[in-house]
Each structure stands twice: as C-alpha cells, then as structure tokens.
C-alpha cells in the first residue's frame, strides 16, 4: 500500500555510462524533485537487453503509475512495452523508439532531421568537386542510428559529387569504431568528411586520424552537442569537430509529459524536440545559453535543499511542540 497521492514513475534507462544519459537522468531527477509527490525510480539496464526487459517487468509488477522507457534496441523491447500497456500502465518512450507505434507517447528529437542537418552542414561548407564521406553509425537496431542514416542519405543522394565511401558500424562508443576506421584510413586516406552518429564516436575517429597524421585533411561532424568540458560544443570550440547536431535529452520534458498523461491532458502521440547544427558560427551562443540554464538549475537545487532543511526543522520543532504540550 503506497501513499494515495504519490505518483510513481519508473524510468527504464538503456544505460548510464555516458554524459548524455547522465545529463538526461539529472534533468529528470531535478524536474521530478520540484513535485514533492513524485517518486521517480531510475533503473539502468547497462546496455543488456534481458536486463532492460527484467527491469521493466519489475516496474509492471510494482504497478508504477507510468513507465518511461529509452529502449536499447527497438525490436527486443517492443513486447514488454506492450505488456505494460496491456496491464494498463501508460508508456512514454523517449529518445529511441520501439518497433511499432504501440506506446502512449514518444518524446525525442527527429533523428531523420538530425541526419539531414549533418548532411546540410557538409553541403553548405564544401563547394569542392568531389566530397568523400565516411559515415560512422550508431548501434544497429536502435532507431536513432537507422533514422540518422536515412536522413543523411536523403540529402547526400541529391548531389552527384558527394558520396559516402564507407559506412562503419559502431555501437555508440568510440572503442567500437576505432580499429575499423584505422583499417579504412590505412588503405584510403582520401577522406574529406567523417559523419559520426554521436560526438563520442566522432572524437574516437578524430583520435585515429590524428594518430595517422590525417586529422587536418578531413572534417568531423558529430551528434549530441552536450555542453561541458568533454561535450560536443567544446569540441567545436576546440576545432576538433566542424559541427555537432544538437540532440536534446528531453529529461525535463519527459517528466512534464508523464504528468500530463497522468492528468489526462491531451498529449500528442509523437512529440518532437528541436535540433539544430552547432558550428563555429553559433558555438559560443549555444554555450552561453546552456551555461545560463545550468546556473538556473544549480540555483533551483540550492533552493530545494533549503526547502528540505526548512521542512525538517519544521517537523522537528513541531514534534518538540507536541511533546511539550503532552507534558
């Protein structure tokens, strides 16, 4: 028997080892802590499919009020999402999609547009005769990887002089692509652009090119555009990346959406967060904007801590009062 007014949100996170997902979790936690009656439980599947299925099963067995899921891959997570729906639990899918449209709502940036944005950056900055691109893809079977490829090709295919000379299959982490990219560059160093499906793999590709003394010959584009010392925005400022395509985590929005669904507010099925290209033209502006948001977050956190301390003090004094009155 849990408290009647409690809102129990279960979030099944694909993994939490990278800064993007850590930032997503942080903004969810901060947003949730603004509502005293929300209990947010985050489970980290550590990129293990069976673990993610099991964790969702536990959320179903616990009858959480709403489930938020960022699926590792689309197909294997689809049945358990269906199971939650069948059990009457609304499901908000974030960032990566399941296989069909069977969820209460989806929230995330349009990954086809992310791919198109990356391609447009290349087209805009290269008037050169031939442009040879290596595309480094995210994990097979995860929707952002599939959709980024689709969008990228939609634009690139319109230009006869621009071609994708190699596609390297990665798994979102740089270790998955470095040997393959090295092997490719060793037989063909004539590459103008590398488009990697995230900034971590773009950085990994840049490291390999630098090792071979080729990093100045080619330009690198990533995705995510996180703020902070290791993030994509800083890599644009440092000249490692020509550009990164912003992929917002949507952490705050996810909590707001979850509440909207629970309050029976009209919620659209597919909710698209905006994306944009961050390059040397706007990297400073973006950095300043995100810094300001972070300052505000820190201020909110400080205020929340103060409120909690006040509340504890109040209860302590109240207890003291009760004891005194009972004497």
- Site residues (CB under 6 A) for ligand FRU? 18, 20-21, 95-96, 138, 142, 144, 172, 198, 223-224, 247
Comparing CA positions, the residue from 130, 126, 112 lying closest to residue 197 is 112
Closest contact distance (angstroms) between CB of 78 and ligand FRU is 16
Of 91 and 131, which CB lies nearer to ligand FRU in the complex structure?
Answer: 91
- Give the separation between CA 120 and CA 125, rounded to whole angstroms: 8
Of 11 and 20, which CB lies nearer to ligand FRU in the complex structure?
Answer: 20
Closest contact distance (angstroms) between CB of 206 and ligand FRU is 16
Closest contact distance (angstroms) between CB of 138 and ligand FRU is 6
Of 174 and 287, which CB lies nearer to ligand FRU in the complex structure?
Answer: 174
Closest contact distance (angstroms) between CB of 68 and ligand FRU is 14
Of 7 and 220, which CB lies nearer to ligand FRU in the complex structure?
Answer: 220
Of 224 and 242, which CB lies nearer to ligand FRU in the complex structure?
Answer: 224
Closest contact distance (angstroms) between CB of 49 and ligand FRU is 15
Q: Which residues of 275-307 are buried (b: 16+ CB within 10 A; e: fewer)?
A: bebbbeebbeebbeebeeeeeeeeeeeeeeeee
Residue number with the smallest Cβ distance to ligand FRU: 198
Of 224 and 252, which CB lies nearer to ligand FRU in the complex structure?
Answer: 224
Closest contact distance (angstroms) between CB of 108 and ligand FRU is 8
């Amino acid at each position: 028997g849990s408290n009647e007014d409690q809102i129990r949100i279960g979030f099944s996170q694909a993994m939490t080892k990278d800064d993007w997902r850590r930032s997503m979790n942080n903004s969810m936690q901060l947003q949730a802590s603004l509502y005293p009656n929300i209990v947010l439980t985050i489970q980290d599947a550590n990129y293990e499919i069976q673990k993610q299925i099991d964790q969702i099963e536990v959320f179903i067995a616990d009858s959480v009020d709403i489930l938020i899921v960022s699926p590792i891959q689309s197909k294997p997570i689809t049945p358990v999402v269906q199971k939650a729906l069948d059990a009457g639990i609304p499901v908000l899918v974030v960032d990566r999609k399941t296989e069909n449209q069977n969820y209460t709502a989806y929230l995330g940036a349009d990954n086809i547009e992310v791919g198109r944005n990356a391609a447009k950056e290349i087209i805009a900055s290269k008037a050169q005769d031939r442009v040879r691109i290596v595309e480094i893809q995210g994990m097979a079977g995860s929707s952002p990887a599939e959709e980024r490829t689709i969008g990228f090709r939609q634009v690139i295919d319109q230009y006869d002089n621009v071609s994708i000379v190699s596609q390297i299959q990665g798994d979102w982490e740089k270790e998955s692509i470095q040997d393959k990219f090295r092997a490719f560059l060793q037989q063909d160093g004539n590459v103008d652009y590398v488009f990697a499906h995230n900034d971590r793999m773009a950085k990994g590709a840049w490291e390999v090119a630098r090792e071979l003394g080729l990093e100045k010959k080619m330009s690198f584009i990533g995705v995510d555009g996180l703020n902070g010392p290791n993030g994509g925005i800083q890599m644009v400022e440092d000249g490692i990346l020509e550009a990164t395509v912003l992929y917002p985590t949507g952490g705050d929005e996810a909590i707001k959406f979850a509440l909207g669904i629970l309050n029976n507010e009209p919620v659209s099925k597919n909710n698209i967060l905006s994306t944009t290209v961050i390059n040397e033209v706007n990297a400073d502006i973006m950095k300043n904007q995100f810094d300001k948001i972070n300052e505000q977050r820190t201020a909110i956190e400080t205020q929340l801590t103060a409120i909690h301390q006040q509340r504890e003090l109040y209860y302590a004094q109240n207890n003291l009062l009760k004891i005194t009155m009972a004497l």
